[in-house]
Every structure is written in C-alpha cells, then in structure tokens.
Amino acid sequence: MVSAVRSSDARRAAAAVLDPELRVLTIDDLGVLRDVTEDPATGRVTVTITPTYTGCPAMDVIRADIRAALTAAGHADAEVVTVYAPAWSTDWISEAGRAKLAAAGIAPPGPAGPAAGRPVPLTLTVRCPHCGAADTEQVSRFGSTACKSLWRCRACREPFDHLRAF
C-alpha cells in the first residue's frame, strides 16, 4: 500500500475556498479544512473537512467548491471526506480569520469552552467590531445564519453579527 503525501499545491487550492456563509473567510481561516493528501501512485487527492456543526447547510457548497478549485489546479481526481470527530470549535478559527471577521463588521467569537487550566467562558457582552465599545446588547440569538447572533452597539448604534462560540 502506498502512503499518502502532502500536496502543497492541492492544499493551497483547497485552502483558498471561501466559506459560502462567511464570504470573508476561507475554509482554512475557519478551521474547516483539516487535511489535504495526495496518493503518489495515483495522484488522487483526499481533502478532509469538518463541518462547523452537524447539518450545516453550507457543506454541500463547500464540497463542490473544493472539487472545482482542485480541478482548476489540475487535480481532477479528488475526494472530499467529512469527519465529525473531533467536533469543530470556534477555537479553530485562525487569528487571520478573526481579524477578517472584525474587519467585515462581524464580532469574532471568544474561547469556545474550557481547556486545561482555563475557566469556563461566559459572554456578558461582545465588543463592537465597528467602534470597539463594550456597551452592546444582543438583539436576537439568531442572526443571518444559524451560527450568528444579532447585536447592536449602544455607543455607535450600529447593528452587527456575532459569530457564536461552539
């Protein structure tokens, strides 16, 4: 059996795919892209992804976009594998991804949950991505997508989405 090897050009192609719901982030920024390997004997590329939550409606689009990006990069023989364990966490969003969210007016999430030696986070307020004020209020637990909630800044009066921690 031939073992798979890392394929940097295939990884670059897959990593550049945008999340269809958060168009400012790539699936790599978001932490959805887990691995990209290529079988040296056959040239078959395998991309491993983890959805942000079970039943995420964007996954079919993400799979199709990955296949299209790989085909455009010369990797027509590709398989996209979805894995659910470990479960995706907003802690997997890269620092660059968090900065892109804030620049787009979406408040990035705080830590998702307790880690070794870290207390359980409690979100009392979310900083406004427009002016940075902490004087904000949640308008609705549900925003433009299932993974966002709607907030409003009391200082600048601007509404904004907050990517909820998972």
Say if 88 falls within a structural domain.
no
pLDDT on residue 35: 96
Q: What is the pLDDT of residues 61-108, one digit of tens each?
A: 999 999 999 999 999 999 999 999 999 998 999 999 999 999 999 999
Say if 87 falls within a structural domain.
no
Q: Which contacts of 2-7 are long-range, i.e. CB under 8 A and separated by 24 or more positions?
A: 2/39, 2/40, 2/41, 2/42, 4/37, 4/38, 4/39, 4/40, 4/46, 5/37, 5/38, 5/39, 5/40, 6/36, 6/37, 6/38, 7/36, 7/37, 7/38, 7/45, 7/75
Say if 77 falls within a structural domain.
yes
Q: Are residues 20 and 43 in the same domain?
A: yes
CA distance 53 to 32: 10
CA distance 22 to 92: 15
**What CATH number is associated with residue 73?**
3.30.300.130
* Containing structural domain, residue 38: 5-82
